[in-house]
A and B are shown apart, each in its own frame.
Chain A
Amino acid sequence: MVKALKGKNITPRIHVEEGGKIHYAVSCRHCEDPLCLKGCISGALTKDADGIVTINHDKCVGCLSCMLLCPYGCITTDEDETVLKCELCLKNSCGAPACVQGCPNRAITYEEVQE
């Protein structure tokens, strides 16, 4: 895997914050009333019927208004400068959040919480 990714620019949708002995992962909260959507100037960000906030790369113009609004710092950019965010791996081959499955310390959970 390390070899396969050599020289590739990796643009993760999740990031780990740390300080002292604390480490934790932060990714999109899929908010009930997402602020990022309120700022989107292109209609690229939408919340689907299941409550998942997704990004349409064909529509995104990379203005980053969503990044200016997200209170959790969860929006990042792809190599083509469009927006990248956690979509719960539902669009890729995993079909379920790979970070949860892959975390050896079980430090990431996938659950619904009340805001």
Chain B
Amino acid sequence: MKYVIIGNGPAAVSCIEGIRSLDRDGRITVISKEAHPAYFRPLISYYLEGKSKAENISCRPGDFYEKNGCEIVTGEAVGINKDQQTITLKSGDAIPYDKLCICTGSSPFVPPMQGLDTVEKKFTFLTIGDSYEIEKAINKDSRVLIIGAGLIGLKCAEGLRDRVQSVTVCDLAPRVLSSILDDECAAIVQEHLEANGISFSLADTAERFEGNVAFMKNGGAIPFDVLVLALGVRPNIGFFKEAGGECGRAIIVDDSMQTSIGNIYAAGDCAEQYDITFGAKRIMALLPNANLGGHTAGVNMAGGSALFDNAVPMNSIGFWGLHMMTAGTYANDSNAKMIEEKGENSIKRFFIRDNKLIGFIIIGDVRSAGIYTNLIRTQTDLSYLDIDALIKNPNLLPFGEIYRRKTLGGVV
């Protein structure tokens, strides 16, 4: 059996482990664009901050590929011949496959912006290579302008603050982290970030650049030394689309991570799958899903029958001691009821539909939040639970004796 994996991030690594859980012998070829072994992308901001060392960011120990009998081919896949079952690389080489998994992730999206070519020091922020480049460009007197107040932009801001003179973040959206927080929760986070030295220009963005000055939509001008473009990402799916594979915004997969083309699977940020809380397929480009989806794909490629049929978006992120967690769906669902619990420096919002928890936002008191995430992933019927008690204090007591005996075992 010839297995081929395109991409070499967490989804690919989990796919390798999935394959090897059933098949010790089949040949695995990993096609990788970056010359590094798989590393944890979210660590690139912690590297800038000094919390992660470059030698500590790999997903697996150094002998992982060798131990698992993987051949690494450095190159870029540009085409698939689905009839002959071959991949074409940019170099022109063709690689045959019996089972293929696409784990190509995504690339930064940079829209056309007037005068961007006049900016000398400009960067996107998605790879460890970007971190190294930004590190070379900054000094303690640098004024950094970050375009995009999403997860990537704000983590970059946190990573850079202590190494530069100032960090300003702008975004066309009126609030920070607009994809995961609502207005009120975003305001709490923004205030905390401002108290920690980050400046914001929201509902505003750079329209054009002249060298080191950004001219803003609202009429202002922001001078800067280093520009970081964190406007979002686009999945790397061009070659799959050209082969006639079904795509939405990313590669459409079913619960077994199979795509619309036989013998081809996809996982990670380039895949789009069913979100049980949203009731439709969407991109959930988050590390846990890359790992769970990649492993599922690998097992199925090796002839097993695994399902990843409870995918939900989930995020845990913190800035200078303030933690926030979100999961599931909570915006634009008028059928959902919200229950709120406010504490000192903490807010929890739970969204319930048809007696099931479909989402939450927690800022501050994030203790044991996995108990809530589990309620979402298992779509537990809340009729039998004291949800008010659970919301105040996440613990296993409200689940009753039978559940506790089953999960905790022994004498409980």
Q: A68, B397: Cβ atoms under 8 Å?
A: no
Flag if B408 contacts A63 (CB, 8 Å): no
> For B59, what are the chain A residues with a Cβ–Cβ distance below 8 Å?
43
B84 at the interface (CB under 8 A from A): no
Q: Are B368 and A59 in contact (CB under 8 A)?
A: no
Question: What residues of chain A lie closer than 8 Å to B404, measured between beta carbons?
Answer: 24
CB < 8 Å neighbour of A58 from B56, B317, B370: B56
Please measure, in the bound complex, the distance between the C-alpha atom of A103 and the C-alpha atom of B149, giving whole angstroms: 50
Complex interface: chain A residues within 8 A of B374 (CB): 71
Q: Is A14 an interface residue (CB 8 A)?
A: no
Most buried by B among A18, A61, A107, A108: A61
B410 adjacent to chain A (CB < 8 Å): yes
B45 closest partner in A (C-beta): A61
Residue contact B371 to A71, C-beta cutoff 8 Å: yes
CA distance A22 to B323 in the complex (A): 31
What string of 1s and 0s marks CB contacts (under 8 Å) between A78-99 and chain B?
0001000000000000000000
Contact (Cβ within 8 A) A43 B394: no
What's the nearest-Cβ distance from chain B to residue A7, in Å?
21
Q: How far is the CA of A113 from the CA of B380 in the complex (A)?
A: 24
B370 A69 Cβ-Cβ under 8 A: yes
- Complex interface: stretch among B109-117, B241-249, B255-263, B287-295: B287-295
Which parts of B356-370 form the interface with A (CB within 8 Å)?
Answer: 366-370
| Bound form: Cα–Cα A76–B57 in Å | 23
Contact of B410 among A39, A65, A109 (CB under 8 A): A109
Which residues of A are found within 8 Å of B412, using beta-carbon distances?
A: 24
8 Å CB interface, B25-81 against A: 40, 42-43, 46, 51-52, 56-60
Q: Which residue of A lies closest to B59 (CB)?
A: A43
Cβ of B327 within 8 Å of any chain A Cβ, yes or no, is: yes
1/0 per position for A53-81, CB-CB distance to B under 8 A? 00000110111111111111101100001
Closest A residue, CB atoms, query B324:
A64
Q: How far apart are B134's CB and chain A's nearest CB, in angstroms?
A: 18
Query: How many B residues are at the interface, by size bracket?
Result: 35 or more
Known pairs A24-B404, A63-B317, A111-B410; A68 contacts B58 (CB<8 A):
no
Determine the residue in chain A with the shortest Cβ distance to B288: A39
Give the residue of A42, A76, A106 whose beta carbon is less than 8 angstroms from that of B43: A42
Cα(A61)–Cα(B51), bound, Å: 6
Indicate whether A52 reaches chain B with its CB closer than 8 angstroms: no
Chain A interface mostly: loop
What count of chain A residues pass the 8 Å CB interface test? Answer: 39
A1 to B407, CA, bound (A): 34
Q: How far is the CB of B357 from chain A (nearest CB, A)?
A: 13
Provide the residues of chain B in CB contact with A19, threshold 8 Å: 397
Which residues 73-97 in B have Cβ within 8 Å of A in the complex? none
Q: Which of B364-412 contact A (CB under 8 A)?
A: 366-371, 373-374, 394-397, 404, 407-412
Contact status A67-B316, CB under 8 Å: yes
B303 within 8 A of A: no
Q: Are A43 and B371 in contact (CB under 8 A)?
A: no
Given A63-B318, A73-B396: A68 touches B327 (CB 8 Å cut-off):
yes
Q: How long is the Cα–Cα vector from A101 to B407 in the complex, in angstroms?
A: 22
Say whether B397 contacts A38, CB under 8 Å. Answer: no
B251 at interface by CB-CB < 8 Å: no
Judge whether B316 and A65 touch: CB under 8 Å: yes
B323 x A72 contact (CB < 8 A):
no
CB distance from A111 to the nearest CB of B (A): 6
Q: Which residue of A lies closest to B315 (CB)?
A: A68
Does chain A have a CB within 8 A of B157? no
Contacts of A68 in B (CB 8 A): 314-316, 325, 327, 366, 369-370, 373
For B42, the chain A residues whose CB sits under 8 A away are 41-42, 63
Tell me if B373 and A109 are in contact (CB < 8 A). no
Contacts A22-B397, A24-B411, A69-B314 aside, 5 further interface pairs with beta carbons under 8 A come to A42-B46, A42-B56, A59-B56, A63-B318, A64-B366
Chosen A-B contacts, 7 in total, with CB atoms closer than 8 Å, are A39-B288, A41-B287, A68-B327, A69-B288, A71-B371, A73-B394, A108-B411
Query: Measuring CB to CB, which residues of chain A are less than 8 angstroms from any residue of chain B?
Result: 17-19, 22, 24, 26, 29, 35-39, 41-43, 58-59, 61-73, 75-76, 81, 106-109, 111, 113
